[in-house]
Structure 1
């Protein structure tokens, strides 16, 4: 069993970066609409995504059956 961030869907770098950019966009939208609480939550998701998808990402092993 793999961790959620090691799902084969996230193997391509562009998909991991896309998730991070969506989180950043969400944070910007929340701050722009004067909702700093939700903006901070979105920044927290962004920080976790950077940590999980860029800094500590370990691609899943290939299945050879």
Structure 2
């Protein structure tokens, strides 16, 4: 079972992948500024995982136009 299917077409644009990672880290910073260290750690971990899956290890799926030739 995949937690995040990076091969889904939704994640193809680079700006979406960057935005997802940025929102996770911004939310972690928000939680940290409110003194919620546990939630900050949770969203920081989500940001790290998304950053790895969507930016570092991301490999775009190349679709075959026509399999019949």
TM-score over 0.5 (shorter chain): yes
Identify unmatched segments of 5+ residues in structure 1: none
TM-score, normalisation: structure 1: 0.88
- Structure with the bigger percentage of helix: 1
Post-superposition, which runs of at least 4 consecutive aligned residues in structure 1 deviate over 2 A? none
Q: What does the per-residue CA deviation read over 1:14-59, in whole Å, with 9 as the maximum and x for residues that have no partner?
A: 0000000110111011001110000000000010011001110011
Larger Rg: 2
TM-score, normalisation: structure 2: 0.83
Q: RMSD over aligned Cα, in angstroms?
A: 1.3
Count of equivalent residues: 63
Partner of 1:58: 59
